[in-house]
Structure 1
Amino acid sequence: MEKSMIRLRMSSADAHYGGNLVDGAKILQLFGDVATELLIKNDGDEGLFKAYSEIEFIAPVFAGDYLEITGEITKIGKTSRGMSFEARKVIVPRVDISESAADFLEESILVCKAVGTCVVPMSSQRKG
């Protein structure tokens, strides 16, 4: 099955709450970006995100954290594509040391996982 990954830094613009806490909706937006890439790779079309059947927020995300977002297609139906997603923190800022200090984590931290379904209409499928 198809897999995709993106890695990016959460900026101060992504912080929505006090203490530079990033809104969980930002993580779901990133899952949507990975889903779009998966559908393009699998079907040649962006498709549509239909629903999440599971979402679990596990650890907080802050401005300055680097996240690795992964997703994979787990089930292929006639028009539906089952997918699973994970967001992992891989780098954390160390402002206690200096404004520019950061640590690459030896073991990433799972911050969110989800399961969802996307749809690609038959008329839009160009691959497979």
Structure 2
Amino acid sequence: MSEQSVTFRYRMSDRDVFYGGGVVNGARSITLANEAANRLMAKVFQNTGHCIEVRKVRLYEPCFAGDYMEFMARVRKMEGNRAVLEVRSFKIIEVPENPPYPSSIDVLPEPLLSTVVQFVYETY
């Protein structure tokens, strides 16, 4: 079961911006990490259960409007009827500082680790 995972991509938009300069609030990344955890629970256990604990939250790389993020969730371990899930988000595409065109993007050669969150879900 620990080999199962889900991955989804999300582009941060202007509506996700919280601070000046187009910076996205870290809580938005945590909310999307929770969405990835819910999808994983539905895939592995055929129900979403419910989150009873958040063990770890680490914010490493800031996100900006226009960045493409990849969220990867996996089951770390089972503890009785509880599943420990870890979600990592990576910045895979960013908007250049001075884009030559409004739609310009830079695909990063190496994804940047942005967020790590560990959730504990109780299964039914």
State percent identity of aligned pairs.
Answer: 26
How much does 1:76 deviate? Answer: 1.5
Unaligned runs of 5+ in 1: 122-128
Equivalent position of 1:124 in the other structure = none
Structural mapping, 1:4-83, within 5 Å = 4-83=6-85
**In structure 2, what is the Cα distance between the partners aligned to 1:64 and 1:111?**
15
Aligned mates of 1:93, 1:51 — CA distance in 2: 34
Distance 2:13 2:101 in 1: 17
Task: Report the residue type matching 1:114 in the other structure.
Answer: V
Runs (4+) off by over 2 Å: none
- Cα shift readout 1:1-31 (whole Å, capped 9, x = no counterpart): 2211111100000001111111111111111
Q: CA deviation at 1:77?
A: 2.8
TM-score, normalization by structure 2: 0.92
Q: What displacement does 1:75 show?
A: 0.9
Q: Which amino acid aligns with 1:40?
A: A
Give the whole-Å Cα distance in 1 for the aligned partners of 2:89 and 2:74: 12
Partners of 1:25 and 1:64 lie apart in 2 by 17
Aligned residues: 121
Q: For 1:26, what is the secondary structure of its paired residue?
A: helix
* Structure 2 stretches lacking a partner, 5+ long: none
Q: 1:116 aligns with which of 94, 119, 122?
A: 119
Letter in 1 for 2:28: K
The separation in 2 between residues aligned to 1:53 and 1:118, in whole angstroms, is 11
Measured against aligned partners, the alpha-carbon deviations of 1:10-58 in whole angstroms (never above 9, x if no partner) come to 0000001111111111111111111111111111101111121111111
Q: What TM-score results when the alignment is normalised by the length of structure 1?
A: 0.89
